[in-house]
Amino acid sequence: MKFLKKLCFVFLFSYGVIATAFPQEIGRSVYLYAKKIVDTLASPGMHGRGYVNDGDKIAAEYIKGEFQKLSLQTFGDDYYQQFRFPINTFPGEISFNCNFCSGKKTLSFKGIAGKNFLVASSSPAINSSFSTIVFDSTYTTSSKKFEKFRKKIKSKDVFVIVDDRGVTNKLKLEYFKKVKEGYFGTNVIEVVIKLIWRMSQSVEKCVKIQVLADSFLYTMKGHGAIVIENEFIPNHTTQNVIGYVKGTEFPDSFIIFSAHYDHLGKMGKNVYFPGANDNASGCAMLLNLANYYAMPGNKPKYSIAFIAFAGEEVGLLGSKYYTENPIIPLRNTCFVFNMDLLGTGEEGITVVNGSVFKKEFDTLVAINAQNNYLKEIKIRGKAANSDHYYFSEKGVKAFFIYTMGGIKAYHDVYDRPETLPLKEFENVYNLIIKFTNSLQQP
Ligand SMILES: [Zn+2]
């Protein structure tokens, strides 16, 4: 009895230590730190981490502050690697409204920026009233018919409504595409089922507006008013944020963790793109991994660098600049693990370059199976869709992982911290650490 009691006590005690004090505590702190980072980076004060109100700079300063707290080492005087690029921005007023005649009734579209319309980021400034004409399938039956559409364009202020929903014929879709791309030199209203914003480094001659199909009921005859204020910045200065932990056995061999911290910024005074999943979540993983490897008990054998890339949404600019001006020689860079969109995971993860570096992919899959972390690890080939790309193009082994399932918000105003699940975050974190440790075996 006594013996049993003692055994029970020992069992309970060790169970308590293992099950409560260790994994749950660590897990909880990983989640809480991730939540704090996502909430901060996606907050209104970061202005969408773009190029209005210095959003990118504020975000870089925040990440730099976290690197300092974790005592990451710098390669030069500080954590920054600066570079420049041109960008079109919208810091001022934006409004867009239309009315359409429907018999005796009027169909009104009241534009709510971000919610039912977007201004394409290549758009110039405009302040005018306009009339609308509709480009429809009847102009897509032959090139002759297509050219006839030009006759409908009576003034340069006209907006052409382009709506290719329901069109499946490839040839016809080509004609629609031409109009959207400005073939007739007109302003364009594109009817879409989902609003998706992207950045532009140039200013086009014509305005392009995306309108959400559900809220945009149009007829052949319409008119409206539009105001767009843009500011083209020819030489914006931004920065990659780079720190590292020195390896204990092979300090000259580097593993790089990367995640871009920039997002789309603001469209007008009042609308900002929070970018919680894209990519505050990846930054949250980057900083959690930095926190892990900076701890005295977890010092890695190889050196590990942590890079928060800038300018990704503009076209992978930060990683392009880095690989052209590498701070760590590329030949000493053993592996790059790029993380972008890590806030979900209910359906597992996808590994871009998985089929390019199959041995490493198989190791990742085996670790996942042994530990039961994630539902699925999907394999993908090469794709120029995040910051891993220029590394693997230059012969450096690189993975890009993103999580699947959960919320569908993407490059819109709904990518918000309060709806980001982060449920699988800790499993992804543990998987990455075990995989990274496997890379350091001699
Ligand atoms: Zn992204």
Gap between the Cα atoms of 285 and 292, Å rounded: 10
Pick the closest to residue 428 from 328, 288, 316 (CA basis): 288
| pLDDT above 70 coverage of the chain, percent | 94
So what's the pLDDT on residue 26?
61
Residue-wise pLDDT for 186-240, tens only, equals: 999 999 999 999 999 999 999 999 999 999 999 998 999 999 999 999 999 999 9
In the chain, where are the structural domains located? 30-89+234-439, 94-228
Q: Report the pLDDT averaged over residues 98-127.
A: 96
pTM attached to this predicted model: 0.91
DSSP, collapsed to helix, strand or coil, labels residue 20 as: helix
**How many Å lie between the centroid of ligand 1 and the Cα of residue 358?**
24
Q: From ligand 1's centre to the CA of 65, what distance in Å?
A: 22
SS3 content of the chain, % helix, strand, coil (to 5): 35, 30, 35
- CA 337–ligand 1 middle distance (angstroms): 14
User: In which band, very low, low, confident or very high, does the pLDDT at 257 lie, cut at 50, 70 and 90?
Assistant: very high
**Phi-psi domain of 262 (left: phi exceeds 0; alpha: psi -120 through 50; beta: other):** beta
How much distance in Å is there from the Cα of 442 to the middle of ligand 1? 33
Q: Calculate how far, in angstroms, residue 278's C-alpha sits from the geometric centre of ligand 1.
A: 5
Give the pLDDT mean for 168-183.
95
Helices (H), 304-351: 312-315, 317-324
The b/e string for 166-178 (b: 16+ C-beta within 10 A; e otherwise) is eeeeeebeebbee
Dist. CA 52 → ligand 1 center (Å): 18
Q: What is 30-89+234-439's CATH number, 3.40.50.970, 3.40.630.10, 2.60.120.10, 1.10.1040.10?
A: 3.40.630.10
Return the pLDDT at 14: 38
Kindly report, residue by residue over 26-59, the tens digit of the pLDDT.
Answer: 678 999 999 999 999 999 999 999 999 999 999 9
Q: Mean pLDDT across the stretch 136-152?
A: 94
- Interval between CA 313 and ligand 1 midpoint (Å): 7
- Residue 340 in this model has a pLDDT that exceeds 80: yes
Query: Which residue stretches of 386-424 are H helix?
Result: 389-393
Percent of the chain topping pLDDT 90: 91
Q: How far is the CA of 282 from the centre of ligand 1 (A)?
A: 8
With a CB cutoff of 8 Å and minimum separation 6, the contacts of 107 are: 99, 100, 101, 217, 218, 219
Q: Report pLDDT digits (tens) over 328-337.
A: 999 999 999 9
Confidence of residue 3 (pLDDT cuts 50, 70, 90): very low
Residue 25 pLDDT class (50, 70, 90 cuts): low
| Pair of tokens at residue 131 | 């009339």
Rounded distance from Cα 220 to ligand 1 centre (Å): 39
If you measure from the C-alpha of residue 145 to the centroid of ligand 1, how many angstroms do you get, rounded to a whole number? 41
CA of 140 to the centre of ligand 1 (A): 36
Q: What is the pLDDT of residues 427-439, one digit of tens each?
A: 999 999 999 999 9
Mean pLDDT along residues 170-181: 96
> Over 60: is that where the pLDDT of 6 sits?
no
- The per-residue pLDDT for 28 is 80
What's the gap in Å between 75 CA and the centre of ligand 1? 25
Ligand 1 mean position, distance from CA 387 (Å): 9
Cα(109)–Cα(223) distance, rounded to whole angstroms?
A: 10
Arithmetic mean of pLDDT, 263-289? 97
* CATH number for the domain formed by residue range(s) 94-228: 3.50.30
Q: How far is the CA of 402 from the centre of ligand 1 (A)?
A: 9
Q: Is the pLDDT of residue 8 over 50?
A: no
Distance 262 CA to ligand 1 centre (A): 8
Tens digits of residue pLDDT in 189-201 = 999 999 999 999 9
Question: In the structure, what pLDDT confidence band is assigned to residue 157 with cuts at 50, 70 and 90?
Answer: confident
> How close is the Cα of 341 to the center of ligand 1, in Å?
6
DSSP letters spanning 28-79: HHHHHHHHHHHHHHTSGGGGGGSSSTTHHHHHHHHHHHHHHHTT-B-SSSSS
pLDDT of residue 283 exceeding 90? yes
pLDDT for the residue 441:
78
Give me ligand 1 centre to Cα 385, in Å.
8
Q: In angstroms, what is the span from residue 414 Cα to ligand 1's centroid?
A: 15
Q: How many angstroms is it from 192 CA to the middle of ligand 1?
A: 22
Assess whether the region 30-89+234-439 and the region 94-228 belong to the same CATH fold: no
Tell how far the Cα of 426 is from the centroid of ligand 1, in angstroms. 20
